[in-house]
Amino acid sequence: MRDPLTVPRRDPDSLRAWVLSDGKAGTENQCLGLAEAVGIPFVAKRLAVRAPWRFLPAGLAARVTMPPFERTLAAVSDRLNPPWPDLVIASGRQSVPYAIALRRAARGRTFVVQVQNPRVDPALFDLVVPPRHDRVAGPNVVPTLGALTRITPARLAEAAREFAPRLAHLPRPLFAVLIGGSNRSYRLTAAAMAVLIGGLGMLTASGAGLAVTASRRTGPANVEALRAALNDRSAVIWDGSAPNPYFGYLALADAIVVTADSVSMTSEACTTGKPVYVAALPGGAAKFRDFHAALADAGCTRPFRGPIQPFTPARLDETARVAAIVRARLGLR
């Protein structure tokens, strides 16, 4: 790993970066957030890998992937051709062998950051940024308490200006409610949805307003139950039409309720610096339990059970912390 004291100071605008991902929002947004925070002009490249290479384990794929990449990338994939960039920020299983191959091809001239757990030796990259609950260790590993995000004060301020008129009729305090759904670890059952709806009803009964977003994982039946229960309450439920009010809801809320199934949504909520209340769902896994316990211990979150106790949270700002490390390693002014 490069010694920042030996790297000459450079102008960020003189460098170029690539963001590599498979296009999945959860992984791509972490890379985009880090790239934006580092401040180097960048291009996002979405990878689509041909069979049989896309089915190979990351470690094996890393040993057989090398430029030129046309034989392994599908026609719909963005191209990876020299000149190689100064910085690569990558995430997702499909990106791992290409990030490693780019680093080798550039012969040390490209600084490669792999976000999340690559499930191969971290020494194959310049920097690895996994979530703390994955327990990855190494001299070039920078674990984060939560996921990297694109939340910044400037982005929130812009979203607040755009969406304030749409929420002006709702009473204060205003709660942004971020509802995920079933995944490999959690189940948003009808019973769990009923418990969540009951807690939200307690908030509106106390005089609060709700700005609610649901995801595709929430499920039509759960969304309909939510609409029916909050129909005559002080609530707005996003119907899925553009524009997406997600940043606006985060910006304008006084506090946030988020379901426990999403590391990304919980991290984004905590990055606002506002009180965050986590609604439990049936299921869970050790890494989720570790993640939520760490946020609670850090003073970022509290559980949501309907009635809430106001608190002053600690603000999560892992993206800025990691960006500062990357800038130092690149020798940026």
Q: What is the CATH number of the domain that holds 98?
A: 3.40.50
Residues 6+ apart with CB under 8 A from 222: 179, 181, 188, 190, 193, 214
Any idea what the CATH number is for the domain that residue 218 is in? 3.40.50.2000
Residues 6+ apart with CB under 8 A from 225: 190, 193, 194, 197
Residue 245 or residue 62, greater confidence: 245
Task: Verify that 222 and 120 share a domain, yes or no.
Answer: no
Tell me if 236 is assigned to some domain.
Answer: yes
Task: Verify that 84 and 111 share a domain, yes or no.
Answer: yes
Task: Verify that 117 and 93 share a domain, yes or no.
Answer: yes
Tell me if 273 is assigned to some domain.
Answer: yes
Task: Verify that 18 and 86 share a domain, yes or no.
Answer: yes
Pairing of strands 235-237, 209-214: parallel
Is residue 7 predicted with pLDDT exceeding 80?
Answer: no
Is residue 8 predicted with pLDDT exceeding 60?
Answer: no
Determine the average pLDDT of the residues in 107-131. 96
- Amino acid letter at 253? A
Please say whether the beta carbons of 35 and 73 come within 8 A. Answer: no
Task: Verify that 100 and 183 share a domain, yes or no.
Answer: no
Taken as a whole, the chain contains a residue count of 333
Q: Which pLDDT tens digit goes with each residue over 140-151?
A: 999 999 899 999
42: nearest Cα among 10, 15, 76, 8: 15
Residue 123 or residue 240, greater confidence: 123
Asked if the peptide bond before residue 303 counts as cis, ω within 30 degrees of 0, the response is: no
Q: Which domain holds residue 65?
A: 4-145+319-330
Tell me if 312 is assigned to some domain.
Answer: no
Tokens 């929430």 map to which residue? 218
Is residue 4 predicted with pLDDT exceeding 50?
Answer: no
DSSP tag of 147: -
Determine the average pLDDT of the residues in 96-123. 96
Q: Please give the pLDDT value at position 35.
A: 98
Pairing of strands 235-237, 255-259: unpaired
- Amino acid letter at 18? W
Task: Verify that 90 and 173 share a domain, yes or no.
Answer: no
Determine the average pLDDT of the residues in 184-204. 97
Task: Verify that 137 and 157 share a domain, yes or no.
Answer: no
Neighbouring-strand partners of residue 91: 115
CB atoms within 10 A of CB 155: 16
Task: Verify that 231 and 326 share a domain, yes or no.
Answer: no
* Alpha-carbon span 257 to 308, nearest angstrom: 10
* Alpha-carbon span 241 to 160, nearest angstrom: 18
Mean of per-residue pLDDT scores for the chain: 94
Is residue 217 predicted with pLDDT exceeding 60?
Answer: yes
Q: Please give the pLDDT value at position 11.
A: 83
Task: Verify that 253 and 324 share a domain, yes or no.
Answer: no
Please say whether the beta carbons of 128 and 142 come within 8 A. Answer: yes
The predicted model scores a pTM of: 0.91
For 145-252, where are the alpha helices, taking DSSP H only?
A: 153-167, 190-205, 220-230, 246-252
Percent of the chain scoring above 90 in pLDDT: 86
Tell me if 294 is assigned to some domain.
Answer: yes
236: nearest Cα among 305, 304, 306, 164: 164
Give the total number of structural domains in the chain: 2
* Alpha-carbon span 303 to 278, nearest angstrom: 5
Task: Verify that 288 and 203 share a domain, yes or no.
Answer: yes
Task: Verify that 173 and 282 share a domain, yes or no.
Answer: yes
Residues 6+ apart with CB under 8 A from 47: 20, 21, 22, 23, 73, 77, 78, 80, 92, 94, 95, 98
* Alpha-carbon span 192 to 323, nearest angstrom: 38
Tell me if 256 is assigned to some domain.
Answer: yes
Q: Please give the pLDDT value at position 3.
A: 52
Is residue 2 predicted with pLDDT exceeding 70?
Answer: no
92: nearest Cα among 28, 184, 19: 28
* Alpha-carbon span 267 to 293, nearest angstrom: 13
Residue 239 or residue 97, greater confidence: 97
Tell me if 173 is assigned to some domain.
Answer: yes
Tell me if 68 is assigned to some domain.
Answer: yes
Determine the average pLDDT of the residues in 298-304. 97
Task: Verify that 172 and 82 share a domain, yes or no.
Answer: no
Percent of the chain scoring above 70 in pLDDT: 97
Is residue 5 predicted with pLDDT exceeding 50?
Answer: no
Tell me if 309 is assigned to some domain.
Answer: no
3-class DSSP state of 286: helix
Determine the average pLDDT of the residues in 202-213. 96
Q: Please give the pLDDT value at position 115.
A: 97
